[in-house]
Structure 1
């Protein structure tokens, strides 16, 4: 019984850690969008048109700051974290959006 409880606690801790890391990925994506004058929700919808709005994106978006307050986030970083979490479609949309940005904003 004690072993089952420990196993369950470990499983819950792993799941919670993954969710926190996933939230960080969402924050990196959303902040990159804000830094480049793009709407994260629009890019998300372009990547996943079959899905309704993403509640986690809406929640995490509240943690973003203005472009002036934020540090630079390299495109490679955004693409890397999106790929790490299996968001290849979103990474493709981000890469396409980045290609459309004026040179001084990339």
Structure 2
């Protein structure tokens, strides 16, 4: 495998992992009766049409059919991809659920 092929493979792997991160975020939102697009727009107000998010939303299942996505798991995944703004919005939603 030459350098160009290796570079292409690395990019493809990253994009696949990024899609998985988006799907985990979208499913977490569904599991907590939240709209993934609304949360995403709160984090990134200048990014309107996110095709990858729309595709991920199409792949989510109803919360009664879904496995649990732990809050910490989602926050760790968002952190790995540098989505600090989205992690902040998710944290706000988590804090709304917790009793004071």
Assess if the C-alpha contact under 8 Å between 1:45 and 1:53 holds in 2. no
Q: Is the 8 A contact 1:46 1:93 kept in 2?
A: yes
Give the Cα separation in 2 of the matches to 1:40 and 1:28: 11
1:68 aligns with 2:76: no
The alignment yields a C-alpha RMSD, in angstroms, of 1.3
CA distance in 2, matches of 1:102, 1:37: 15
Look up the match of 1:96: 92
Gaps of 5+ in 2: none
Q: TM-score, normalised to structure 2's length?
A: 0.93
In the aligned structure 2, how far is the partner of 1:22 from the partner of 1:30?
12
Q: Which runs of 4+ in 1 moved over 2 A?
A: none
Rg larger in 1 or in 2?
A: 1
State the secondary structure of the residue aligned to 1:21. helix
Deviation at 1:61, TM superposition (A): 1.4
Instruction: Describe the SS at the equivalent of 2:6.
Output: helix
Paired residue for 1:26, among 6, 22, 25? 22
Per-residue CA deviation, residues 3-41 of structure 1 (Å, 9 max, x unaligned), is: xx7211111110000000000100110000000000000
Quick check: 1:41–1:53 contact (8 Å CA) kept in 2?
no
Matches within 5 A, 1:1-106: 6-101=2-97
Per-residue deviation at 1:101? 2.5
Shift of 1:102: 6.4
